[in-house]
Amino acid sequence: KQEVTQIPAALSVPEGENLVLNCSFTDSAIYNLQWFRQDPGKGLTSLLLIQSSQREQTSGRLNASLDKSSGRSTLYIAASQPGDSATYLCAVPGGTSYGKLTFGQGTILTVHP
Amino acid sequence: NAGVMQNPRHLVRRRGQEARLRCSPMKGHSHVYWYRQLPEEGLKFMVYLQKENIIDESGMPKERFSAEFPKEGPSILRIQQVVRGDSAAYFCASSPQQGGTDTQYFGPGTRLTVL
DSSP string, A57-104: EEETTEEEEEETTTTEEEEEE-S--GGG-EEEEEEEEESGGG-EEEE-
Alpha-carbon span B18 to A26, nearest angstrom: 38
Predicted pLDDT at B42: 86
Place B100 in a pLDDT band, splitting at 50, 70 and 90: low
What is the rounded average pLDDT of the residues B7-24? 97
Q: Which residues of chain B does A92 touch, with a Cβ-Cβ cutoff of 8 Å? A: 100
Task: Give B94 or B41, the one with higher predicted confidence.
Answer: B94
User: What's the gap in Å between the CA of A41 and the closest CA on chain B?
Assistant: 8
Predicted pLDDT at A45: 94
- Considering only CB atoms, B56 lies closest to which of A41, A100, A106, namely A100
Interchain CB distance below 8 Å, A92 and B100: yes
10 Å CB burial of residue A24 (0-12, 13-18, 19+) is: middle
Predicted pLDDT at A47: 96
Q: Which residues of chain A does B109 touch, with a Cβ-Cβ cutoff of 8 Å? A: 42-43
What is the rounded average pLDDT of the residues A42-59? 92
Sequence length of chain B is 115
User: What's the gap in Å between the CA of A22 and the closest CA on chain B?
Assistant: 16
User: What's the gap in Å between the CA of A17 and the closest CA on chain B?
Assistant: 27
Predicted pLDDT at A98: 79
Tell me B44's DSSP state. E
Parallel, antiparallel or unpaired: strands A107-112 and A10-14: parallel
Predicted pLDDT at A78: 97
Interchain CB distance below 8 Å, A45 and B106: yes
10 Å CB burial of residue B94 (0-12, 13-18, 19+) is: buried
Predicted pLDDT at A28: 85
User: What's the gap in Å between the CA of B6 and the closest CA on chain A?
Assistant: 10
Q: Report whether pLDDT(B26) > 90.
A: yes
Place B98 in a pLDDT band, splitting at 50, 70 and 90: confident
What is the rounded average pLDDT of the residues B94-112? 86
Alpha-carbon span B82 to B22, nearest angstrom: 16
Sequence length of chain A is 113
Q: Which residues of chain B are at the A interface, by a Cβ-Cβ cutoff of 8 Å?
A: 4, 31, 33, 35, 42-45, 48, 55-56, 58-59, 91, 93, 98-109, 111
Q: Which amino acid is at B99?
A: G
Residues B34-93 have pLDDT tens digits of: 999 987 788 999 999 998 899 999 999 999 999 999 988 999 999 999 999 999 999 999
Predicted pLDDT at A31: 87
Q: Report whether pLDDT(A96) > 80.
A: no
Predicted pLDDT at B1: 58
What integer best gives the mean pLDDT of chain A?
A: 93
Predicted pLDDT at A76: 97
Neighbouring C-alpha atoms within 13 Å toward the C-beta of B90 = 30
Q: Report whether pLDDT(A29) > 90.
A: no
